[in-house]
Amino acid sequence: MRVPRMLTVTLAGAAVLAPAAACSSEDPAPGKAPQAATAPAATPTAEQPTHPFTGLPGSARRPVLAVKIENTSAGKPQLGLKSADIVYVEQVEAGLTRLMAIFSSKIPAKVGPVRSARISDLHIVPQFGKPAFAYSGAQTKMLPHIAAASLFDVSDSRAPGAYFRQPGRYAPYNLFANTKQLLAGAPKASRAKDVGFTFGEAPAEGGTPRKFFNVKYPAARFTFGWSEKAGKWLIWQDGKKDMAAEGGQLAAPTIVVQYAKTERSEFHDKNQSYTPLVHTTGKGRAVVLRDGQAFKARWSRPTEKEGTVFTTESGEPMNFAPGQVWVVLAAPKPVIP
């Protein structure tokens, strides 16, 4: 049986941030492309207004809600991620990862588990204007930075009535939130606007066919597997299917691996493990996964208030496939043979 080629990316800077932890379980079965029962989303026509975060039909510009969500096995399955427009993967202490989900076009009733904020969040959210930002706690010396950031604070300390403990889960992985109440706590939250994404047909040239694409962090491993039937990249973490609390495997038509400088910040946890700071302004390289292909790309974001623009290596717009977008923030060491 022919084993499909797999592309592995090892993140730089691991020695600075945390020692590597063992990854368990196995990747998807060799020789088989992942399958899913979900039909691919219809591509909107040029005449239809589309949402700036997803490229899908819908002209409504609802308020933007950003939520920090747990991303270790103790907090899975997560609730609400399937409805997110954009999902950011960020490295945190000990080489693990945490998610920041951006909601606007579709806002689920409940989300969680909600976890604490990190300094990198504050550098990502300004491109959305001044969104509602939901999180549970932060280091004391980071609180002034949150207060000065371009966001409306709807954390569990500022909007306690929006949060609840989910039965059947244990603390701190059982804190969930009602989104209607979160947004009620930020009535002036910015509405969705252009953040630099473009949607449409894939570039005619430059794509490398892939069935799988791996991204490794010091203590976490993601596998994105293309499903022709679903028209999406199915997601595995540490060799296990990344399942949603609503049912089904998490998946997205576009995965962006954005290589960004990652270094120690001034913050650290109680075990003296330093918090990584991901620099999401400036320029860098990226790999865009869509339609079963990997495209080399470039990204640019001049200031924090501006969106992130992705282009092909020749400088043309790097179109995403309409639908949810995962932005995987990784230290810069891309390799595509």
| Dihedrals phi, psi of 110, to nearest 5 degrees | -135, 150
Q: Which ranges of 177-269 would DSSP assign to H, the alpha helix?
A: 179-184
Tokens of 114: 């909600």
How far apart are the C-alpha atoms of 276 and 53, rounded to whole Å?
Answer: 26
pLDDT for position 275: 82
pLDDT for position 23: 37
Q: How confident is the model at residue 216 (pLDDT cuts 50, 70, 90)?
A: very high
Tokens of 92: 């945190």
Beta carbons of 226 and 34 less than 8 angstroms apart: yes
- Range in 6-10, 102-106, 153-157 with the lowest mean pLDDT: 6-10
pLDDT tens digits, 47-91: 678 999 999 997 678 999 999 999 999 999 999 999 999 999 999
Domains belonging to the chain, first-starting first, are: 6-17+196-330 (3.50.90.10), 65-184 (3.50.90.10)
| Dihedrals phi, psi of 17, to nearest 5 degrees | -95, -45
3-state secondary structure of 160: helix
Tokens of 320: 């995403």
Average pLDDT along the chain: 86
Q: In Å, how far are 56, 149, 281, 306 from 303, measured between CA atoms?
A: 27, 14, 6, 5
Tokens of 154: 């709807």
Q: How confident is the model at residue 37 (pLDDT cuts 50, 70, 90)?
A: very low
More confident call, 277 vs 85? 85
- Span 168-186, mean pLDDT? 97
Q: What is the DSSP letter of 95?
A: G
The answer for residues whose C-beta is within 8 angstroms of residue 184's C-beta and 6 or more apart is: 162
Residue 206, pLDDT > 80, answer yes
- Span 28-40, mean pLDDT? 48
Bridge partners of residue 10, in order along the sequence: 216
pLDDT for position 270: 64
pLDDT tens digits, 79-121: 999 999 999 999 998 889 999 999 999 999 999 999 999 999 9
Tokens of 22: 């063992």
Neighbours of 141 (CB within 10 A): 9
| Dihedrals phi, psi of 249, to nearest 5 degrees | -90, 140
More confident call, 281 vs 21? 281
